[in-house]
Amino acid sequence: MSCIQFLVCGILGIFPSICIDMQHSMVQAELVLSALGTWDAWIPILYAGIFSCGVAYTLQIVGQDGVNPTVASLLLSLESVFSVLAGMVILHETMSSREILGCVLVFAAVLFAQLRLDNRNINS
């Protein structure tokens, strides 16, 4: 499943990247190509390709194998909250009050979705 996902995403990502990159002038294209000749450019590209895509998506598929689909979808909806919190801890980023409120609302919505409500008939 993971290999199929990588193949489809890679094929679908080639066409927009070629179309967008072909709009640059030759001077900009030469600068981009010269920048790709250094390790300073390849280390982030390889990190994003190998760890963010390869390892993370593969572990995500393996982890979802034995989990209830409802629980898995709720946990995956917290991905943005976890990424913001990781950015705060690892990159020392700051959040505005609006962003904090958004994280709290998403987290509260996931908790609310997990609550078991009584099946009482409201009309009676």
Cα separation values, 92 from 43, 51, 85, Å: 21, 21, 10
pLDDT digit string, tens, across residues 1-38: 777 877 887 788 777 776 666 555 555 666 666 766 77
- What mean pLDDT is predicted for residues 95-105? 91
Rounded to an integer, what distance in angstroms lies between the CA atom of residue 112 and that of residue 45?
A: 38
Residues 39-70 pLDDT 10s? 777 777 777 777 777 787 788 888 888 888 88
Closest of 102, 54, 59, 94 to residue 78, by C-alpha: 102
The identity of residue 99, as a single letter, is E
> Rounded to 10 degrees, what is the CA torsion of 19, 13, 26, 47?
170
Residue 49 and residue 9 in contact, taking contact as beta carbons nearer than 8 Å: no
For the question of whether the overall pTM of this predicted structure is more than 0.75, the answer is: no
